[in-house]
Amino acid sequence: MTRARATFTVQIDNDRVKVTQWRFAPGAETGWHRHAMDYVVVPMTTGTLLLETPQGEFESPLQAGVSYMRPTGVEHNVVNANAHEFVFVEIELK
């Protein structure tokens, strides 16, 4: 199945952090990737993201303004499972 790609804008990239805003149209995806740094996600939208992982698929319900953190090495494809645009800010810790 071919999906649209999420779009991203790097807002800050310095020697300490990389801050990226991700915007997902309904059904859009990041593409498979592995995180090289610990990171924090700050959802700007409330909804559900589908996480495709080597261990299977998982739904991740998120609430605007409620952040979470993940460690280096996470591998997944993130898909917007909502009928509306989904936006989050990702802060990678260098």
Residue range of the domain that includes 41 = 7-93
What radius of gyration do the chain's Cα atoms show?
13
The ranges of the chain with pLDDT < 70 are 1
- The CATH number covering residue 24 comes to 2.60.120.10
Asked, for residue 60, whether it belongs to a domain, the answer is: yes
Q: Cβ(62)–Cβ(82) under 8 Å? A: no
Q: Model-level pTM?
A: 0.94
Asked, for residue 75, whether it belongs to a domain, the answer is: yes
How many structural domains are present in the chain? 1
Query: According to the model, what pLDDT value does residue 2 have?
Result: 87
| Closest among 52, 42, 46 to 22, alpha carbons compared | 42
Torsions phi, psi for 72 (to 5 deg): -50, 145
Asked, for residue 17, whether it belongs to a domain, the answer is: yes
Residues 6+ apart with CB under 8 A from 71: 35, 38
Asked, for residue 1, whether it belongs to a domain, the answer is: no
